[in-house]
């Protein structure tokens, strides 16, 4: 949202800045936890490891059933 000043609109801009500052101070002193900025790296790595393990289990079950493992289907971990 953008506010356009009127003829002597400096008061409008000053009120807008003051309101933002007031809200920031209120947020700073509240117990609100901002979950939008949390680090998702660990969650994604855990999911990747789970998927790799699942693929390896599926591959071993396939071999136990008498199937041949294909090089193109092999899962490599970097």
Residue closest to 34 by CA, chosen among 44, 45, 47, 24: 24
Model pLDDT for residues 16-71, shown as the tens digit of each residue: 667 878 888 888 888 776 666 666 666 667 777 777 777 776 666 666 666 565 55
72 vs 12: CA distance, rounded Å: 65
Residue closest to 58 by CA, chosen among 76, 47, 74: 74
The model's pTM is 0.26
pLDDT recorded at residue 21: 83
């Amino acid at each position: 949202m953008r506010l356009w000043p009127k003829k002597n609109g400096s008061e409008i801009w000053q009120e807008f800045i003051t309101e933002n500052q007031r809200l920031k101070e209120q947020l700073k002193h509240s117990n609100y936890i901002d979950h939008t900025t949390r680090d998702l790296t660990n969650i994604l790595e855990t999911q990747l490891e789970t998927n790799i393990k699942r693929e390896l289990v599926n591959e071993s079950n396939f071999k136990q059933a008498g199937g041949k493992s294909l090089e193109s289907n092999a899962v490599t971990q970097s």
